[in-house]
Chain A
Amino acid sequence: ESRSAMAVSAVHLESDAFLVCMNHALSTEKEEVMGLCIGEVSWLSRASLQTQSWPHSTFIHVVGLVWTRQVDTNRIVHIHSVIILRRSDKRKDRVEISPEQLHRLAEMTGRPMRVVGWYHSHPHITVWPSHVDVRTQAMYQMMDQGFVGLIFSCFIEDKNTKTGRVLYTCFQSVQAQKGSEYERIEIPIHVVPHEAIGKVCLESAVELPRILCQEEQDTYRRIHSLTHLDPITKIHNGSVFTKNLCSQMSAVSGPLLQWLEDRLEQNKQSISELQKEKERLLQELAAL
């Protein structure tokens, strides 16, 4: 078997972290977006029932059964939150982390939380990782064998049935033999319930419009610094900046702000109902 004993057996992605990833992936159909997954690893130990012999094991004969006492350790990767990244020149193997994001990352990580994987989107493309993706994943695995990759495929539409589709997958890379091409291996992923949205997830969600604005401002600043441009071209470029910022505000910031306000309203209602329920239960408990 080519897989190492330190294989990842499953990924548990908390639903609020999923919300942030999905929102990020759905923010643009024109290019791939990416980010890092923050979480922790737990170890699943089990005694394996094997018929092969291993050099460091002890054989115990039990009524015709031969079993080894070797213990396999398998990782379960828990993803609690994600951090949105800007990409340098839109290359997946080069990640640009702004000072603010680096500061956030430092706040989010610290035992036991650390970076456990990466995610990116495939707009209008199949969910399977490309050769570049598999090689990039293999490179990350050189730093950390348990590093996992997530891909979100969106903006897929079946023209016949007019049904839209979103897919997500989890993978790692493996080399069949030394020197051969890397291949993907599939890792089971489960989105686990997390009814309340965590603080880190909420903050990551509102990072998106801030990052988009920063990217646009950086692009514009580079253009505007070109001194040889005539006034009309400069006014044109200013209008492009205005247009782009306006589309960010209407497509991303506006809906996000509306969603936050609706969520607050919904929470207030739930709190009010639960308060009444709590009082009723306290009375019932006192009566018993």
Chain B
Amino acid sequence: MTDLHTTVRISGIVLGSLMFQHFNSDSDVEGFILGESKAEERSNITDSQMNQVQYEHTVHIQKHISCQKLSSFYNGVGEVKWAEIKHILAGDKKENVLGWYRQRRNTEQRMTFREQVVHRNLQRALSNHELVFLLLTPAKASSIGSTHRLEYSVFRSHGSQYHNIPMVVSNLGMLEQQDYRRSSTSCSSSSYNRAIKKHRSKFFTSDGSLKEVGEVSAMNDTLQAELKMACANVEKSERTLELLSADVAALRKDIAVKRSNQTKTDLHSVSEMPQENMLLCAALRALFPESPLLRTQTLTQQGTPLPEYSCNVDHNIDVPTALPLVLAHQHAREQRWGLGEKGRNWGKRRCTEASHTTQRKRRDILETDSEEAITVSGSETDEELLDSQNINLKQSNSPVF
């Protein structure tokens, strides 16, 4: 008969450090937990059972690595990104990864569906089916915020199910402390005293103190010195990090301010002096010399071109040289339609008719895409165009709210 018993152990400083990380963040936090996993087999022979075997599996959480941001090592559907995991683990070996953790406020001690999916994918990616998930859920325990509670639990999968494993905080109090004896019973046996006297010098120094006590005290002093040095090193790094973070934050602010000022300047300059496309202006002047309205860049909200903004500047662009295709097309069109003097007359005749049926034609133009339609609209004079616009303004087809 076998009995499997798993316990997770964590030291107080690591649990405190996890809480510390979450306090410094507005959102949920997550990361990886690393340490050692040991299994021990113990056989028990009792009066009733010959072969009782107990498997004691202990998972020691020794450190945690926090992720800079959420969902960094998995995507929206819970697939893990191995490259990102390697980057997060940096120098730590994949074998030391015991599992991952998540801290979320005011939520239940239960794995969400996404967490389960991520966990399964992580198990495959890290080739570790004993992978655990540590969930910490802080919450207010009183309405005025005078009492707070943190609940924590470790989950492990068994097939498709997830079970809780108890997590124990390793501490001094787990071992008996006060075992000192304050009195002793004397033994009058001479053989007993002779045996002790023979080996006494191995335990005691000349001044009567115990050698082992001296040795272990010296070892502890060395450890305290190491702690002091490590503390000083960490302190130095914390101050450097603080200053650097402040510098980076200040730089980001400066950049944001400069960018917003620049955008304001750009918008400002655009509204004051719109950039003109001089080639277009020259082409329009060449193709439609009688239509200065086409050379305006400013329209009313209803789409009416404003004549006072028409460009009347001669940009001194030689259109046949700069835009050879524009005039070549016009020449070909004139040849096809027989325009010229006659064309102009036709155009003028057409204009007379157009002035009466402008509204209908404009609708036609909108509906059809033919060259003819364009040609017809091109021969309207600007006054007629403005008039037709005014007609349109009065009888607008745009929706009214």
**In the complex, are the beta carbons of B166 and A186 less than 8 A apart?**
no
**In the complex, are the beta carbons of A165 and B20 less than 8 A apart?**
no
Task: State the CA gap A50–B366 with chains docked (Å).
Answer: 71
Q: Does any Cβ of A come within 8 Å of B237's Cβ? A: yes
Q: Does any Cβ of A come within 8 Å of B226's Cβ? A: yes
- Give which listed residue, A198, A236, A244, contacts B181 with CB less than 8 A: A236
- Report the minimum CB–CB distance from B181 to chain A (whole Å): 5
Q: A220-B180, A255-B14, A257-B223 are in contact. Are A231 and B149 (CB under 8 A)?
A: no
**In the complex, are the beta carbons of A265 and B91 less than 8 A apart?**
yes
Residue of A213, A240, A255, A269 with most partner-chain B CB within 10 A: A255
Q: A163-B152, A220-B180 are in contact. Are A274 and B248 (CB under 8 A)?
A: yes
Inter-chain contacts of A236 with B (CB < 8 A): 181
Inter-chain contacts of B196 with A (CB < 8 A): 231-232
By DSSP majority rule, is chain A's interface helix, strand, loop, or mixed? Answer: helix
Q: Does any Cβ of B come within 8 Å of A108's Cβ? A: no
Interface residues of B in 4-40 (CB under 8 A from A): 11-17, 19-20, 23-25
> How many chain B residues have a CB neighbour from A under 8 Å?
90
- Give which listed residue, B109, B151, B170, B238, contacts A196 with CB less than 8 A: B238
**In the complex, are the beta carbons of A197 and B234 less than 8 A apart?**
yes
Q: Does any Cβ of B come within 8 Å of A44's Cβ? A: no
Task: State the CA gap A267–B231 with chains docked (Å).
Answer: 13
**In the complex, are the beta carbons of A277 and B248 less than 8 A apart?**
yes
**In the complex, are the beta carbons of B109 and A27 less than 8 A apart?**
no
Task: State the CA gap A234–B184 with chains docked (Å).
Answer: 9
- Report the minimum CB–CB distance from B230 to chain A (whole Å): 4
**In the complex, are the beta carbons of B216 and A226 less than 8 A apart?**
no
> How many chain A residues have a CB neighbour from B under 8 Å?
108
Task: State the CA gap A123–B168 with chains docked (Å).
Answer: 13
Task: State the CA gap A259–B181 with chains docked (Å).
Answer: 36
- Give which listed residue, B14, B146, B203, B235, contacts A259 with CB less than 8 A: B14
28 example contacts (A-B, Cβ-Cβ < 8 A) are as follows A18-B16, A27-B171, A27-B172, A123-B173, A155-B171, A165-B152, A168-B147, A168-B148, A197-B238, A202-B238, A206-B228, A209-B223, A210-B227, A213-B224, A228-B184, A231-B203, A231-B204, A243-B179, A251-B11, A255-B14, A259-B14, A260-B227, A261-B230, A271-B240, A274-B241, A284-B255, A288-B255, A288-B258
Partner-A contacts on B (CB < 8 A): 11-17, 19-20, 23-25, 62-63, 65, 90-91, 109, 141-142, 144-153, 164-175, 177, 179-184, 186-187, 196, 200, 203-204, 209-210, 212-213, 216-217, 219-220, 223-224, 226-228, 230-231, 233-235, 237-242, 244-245, 247-248, 251-252, 254-255, 258-259, 262
Kindly list 9 other residue pairs between chains A and B, CB separation below 8 angstroms, not including A195-B242, A267-B234, A271-B237.
A18-B23, A26-B169, A166-B19, A186-B144, A210-B227, A226-B182, A245-B216, A251-B174, A255-B62
Partner-B contacts on A (CB < 8 A): 15-16, 18-19, 22-23, 25-31, 123, 127, 154-155, 157, 161-171, 186-199, 202-203, 205-206, 209-210, 212-213, 217, 219-220, 223-224, 226, 228-249, 251-253, 255-271, 274-275, 277-278, 281-282, 284-285, 288
